[in-house]
Chains A and B, each alone.
Chain A
Amino acid sequence: MKTAETFVEKPKTLAELRAELESGVTTAADRAAFYYDRIAAVNPHLNVYLSLSKERAMEQAARVDALAAKGDPLPALAGVPVGIKDVLTMRGVAATAGSKILQGYRPPYDCTAVARLEAAGAVLLGKLNCDEFAMGSSNENSAYGPVRNPVDIERVPGGSSGGSAAAVAANMAVATLGTDTGGSIRQPASFCGVVGVLPTWGRVSRYGLIAFASSLDRIGPFAGNVRDAATLLGVIAGHDAMDATSSPQPAPDYAAESDKGAEGLRIGVPAEYFAEGLDADVRAQIEKGIDALKAAGCTIKPISLPHTKYAIPTYYLVATAEASANLARFDGVRYGYRSKTAETLSAMYRNSRDEGFGAEVKRRILLGTYALSAGYYDAYYGKAQQVRRLLAEEFLRAFAEVDAIVTPTSPVPPFKLGEKTGDPLSMYLADIYTVTASLAGICGVSVPCGTTPAGLPVGMQVLASHLGESTAFRVARAVEAAGL
């Protein structure tokens, strides 16, 4: 068993929190104060929060308490303390994206998903640490230091939304928002033993998300249980006039949908996700999860997704190409950091970017620029886009025969800090089971599936087709109910 200090504490459920407010056992203000005390005590150990939005949180708590005092009906997330990944904007609150290049930036507007949480009564506690520009799988690429895993502080929390996952695992927020480009919600959820949701691409508005790779980026919730995660998705999903890529399809009541049970669902188990490289302890837990689904009345069907092995190279070409374009906007002119050492405009751009960006961000900008440059475009970026179509079509064929697909979220349990930092390629391979759904645009949930004999969390990834979140939630609830 682990000997390291643990900071794990399970947050109360949304239903419990609501009952507390309705009965007057506590107030939203007292609860927010409790969370700020908890953050003050735990943050020095875990480095989860980068900044706190106390004034705004206490104003919101007072509004909720006024509603409760009048006996008015409370909105869905009344007085629920939430944290926001620091790639999402909150008006007037420092936004760093985990990078030095945004030093001092206080965005003049709210991200739509953040505003929707607040409109539903949530109390916004502050901004959460993450890998720089969401580029990383361990949270070690943050310019503000790594987040530590609450389960074992010698281990990484996963990335890039490491702070968002760790905050829920350590009860430093009841729920959080993260972003997922290649696995950045699902993998940290798995590593920290919490629920993380990858919504269908376009399901949640990205207005106010500091972009990494626009054809892949998504915003999604973390929570301590599946139903609460479904409730949060219900609040943030839906069309937004500020994001032309948001889907016009209406969002169902995901929490109610998740109550429908998993009986009769057809579950695909792809052989390629159980091949060489999968840790034996992780495999054993996932097999228990599959048995639980069988016991819940699901039909288990072995399937094959033979293009899986091409997903990582495809992902790293597509994502870096888009990143090289998106990150061109950080030039020291309009916001954030400007180098003081330059006398010409061109040198100002270059020095600001050199001094502002960390090594992994530079590596990805260079790779993406190379893949898009004259003479290489067709061989790299064009080829990757073709393979991306093959990967997406392969999923669509599979979903003609099954309702959901289950896999391990990560091939390994949380690894130690520093274990993979010297070798970028080995870090990229940590995303091997998550990048496929990212490329195909489909949705998924990472749900806790017990622990290894050493006590490290294992997550099961439940994938469903485009706009199939309800199905993914139903399956995830069945795994959760097994109490593995």
Chain B
Amino acid sequence: MTARVTVEEVERVAELAQLELAPEEKPGMVRDLNAILDYVAELNELDTTGVTPLSQVTEIEGAGGAGSLRADALRPSLDRGDVMGQAPETDGMFFKVPKVIER
């Protein structure tokens, strides 16, 4: 897992993350990502064969456990007007965005 991230890879990852990087931001990001990835490569020293990944600490016994799921029943939710009122552009019912389909 030793990686040398290139500027092309940073551009590809930025595209995946829907980030538009300015040209002057790219060299710094390449440098920082390589420094960080070199550092995290330290994990390779550890043999983790057969270790089950831990994605939530509630998987651990005695850690408090997650609550049971609530009943699947209708409940009041936030007021539509309050929520839509926060949108940069809305008609009150829908979020408005730049045109997606040409016709």
Binding site for B on A (CB under 8 A): 105-109, 200-203, 215, 239, 241, 243-249, 307, 309-310, 312-314, 316-317, 324, 328, 331-338, 342-351, 353-354, 357, 359, 362-363, 365-367, 369-370, 373, 376, 379-380, 382-390, 392, 396, 424-425, 428, 440-441, 465-467
**Contact indicator B60/A466 (Cβ below 8 Å):** yes
Further contacts, 19 of them, CB under 8 A, given A202-B66, A309-B42: A200-B63, A239-B67, A247-B67, A307-B46, A333-B88, A343-B98, A345-B100, A346-B18, A350-B19, A362-B25, A363-B29, A366-B29, A367-B33, A387-B43, A390-B48, A392-B60, A428-B36, A440-B57, A467-B62
**Contact indicator A245/B66 (Cβ below 8 Å):** yes
CB distance from A383 to the nearest CB of B (A): 5
**Contact indicator A313/B40 (Cβ below 8 Å):** yes
**Contact indicator B36/A247 (Cβ below 8 Å):** no
CB distance from A321 to the nearest CB of B (A): 10
CB distance from B49 to the nearest CB of A (A): 9
Task: Provide the bound-state CA to CA distance between A366 and B87, in Å.
Answer: 26
Residues of B within 8 A of A379 (CB): 1
With A200-B63, A239-B67 in contact, do A345 and B97 touch (Cβ < 8 Å)? yes
**Contact indicator A334/B51 (Cβ below 8 Å):** no
**Contact indicator A354/B64 (Cβ below 8 Å):** no
**Contact indicator A380/B66 (Cβ below 8 Å):** no
Residues of B within 8 A of A343 (CB): 98
B22 within 8 Å of A by Cβ?
yes
List the count of A-B residue pairs having beta carbons below 8 Å apart.
204
Residues of B within 8 A of A239 (CB): 67
Task: Provide the bound-state CA to CA distance between A246 and B83, in Å.
Answer: 25
Cβ contacts B12-23/A at 8 Å (1 or 0 each): 011011111110
With A239-B67, A380-B40 in contact, do A331 and B18 touch (Cβ < 8 Å)? yes
**Contact indicator A366/B33 (Cβ below 8 Å):** yes
Residues of A within 8 A of B41 (CB): 313
With A328-B18, A337-B88 in contact, do A248 and B68 touch (Cβ < 8 Å)? yes
Residue from B32, B52, B78 in contact with A109 in the complex, judged by beta carbons closer than 8 Å: B78
Listed residue (A200, A385, A386, A440) with the most chain B CB atoms within 10 angstroms of its CB: A386
Count of B interface residues, CB-CB < 8 Å: 62
Residue from B5, B54, B66, B82 in contact with A370 in the complex, judged by beta carbons closer than 8 Å: B5
Give the residue name and chain of the A residue nearest to B38 (CB): A425
Residues of A within 8 A of B40 (CB): 313, 316-317, 380, 384
Binding site for A on B (CB under 8 A): 1, 3, 5, 9-10, 13-14, 16-22, 25, 28-29, 32-33, 35-37, 39-44, 46, 48, 51-58, 60, 62-70, 78-79, 82-83, 85-89, 95, 97-100
Residues of B within 8 A of A365 (CB): 17, 19
Residue from B64, B66, B99 in contact with A200 in the complex, judged by beta carbons closer than 8 Å: B64
CB distance from B72 to the nearest CB of A (A): 12
**Contact indicator B67/A313 (Cβ below 8 Å):** no
Task: Provide the bound-state CA to CA distance between A336 and B70, in Å.
Answer: 31
Listed residue (B37, B56, B60, B68) with the most chain A CB atoms within 10 angstroms of its CB: B60
30 A-B contact pairs sorted by A residue (CB < 8 Å):
A108-B83, A202-B66, A215-B57, A244-B66, A244-B69, A310-B43, A332-B88, A334-B86, A334-B95, A336-B88, A337-B88, A338-B89, A346-B18, A354-B22, A362-B29, A369-B13, A370-B13, A376-B1, A382-B53, A383-B44, A386-B52, A390-B46, A390-B48, A390-B51, A425-B39, A440-B57, A441-B57, A466-B57, A467-B62, A467-B64
Give the residue name and chain of the A residue nearest to B81 (CB): A108
Task: Provide the bound-state CA to CA distance between A108 and B77, in Å.
Answer: 11
Give the residue name and chain of the B residue nearest to A440 (CB): B57
Give the residue name and chain of the A residue nearest to B62 (CB): A466
**Contact indicator B43/A425 (Cβ below 8 Å):** no
**Contact indicator B79/A362 (Cβ below 8 Å):** no
**Contact indicator A345/B98 (Cβ below 8 Å):** yes
List of 3 A-B pairs having minimum Cβ-Cβ separation, nearest first: A441-B57, A385-B53, A108-B82
CB distance from B96 to the nearest CB of A (A): 9
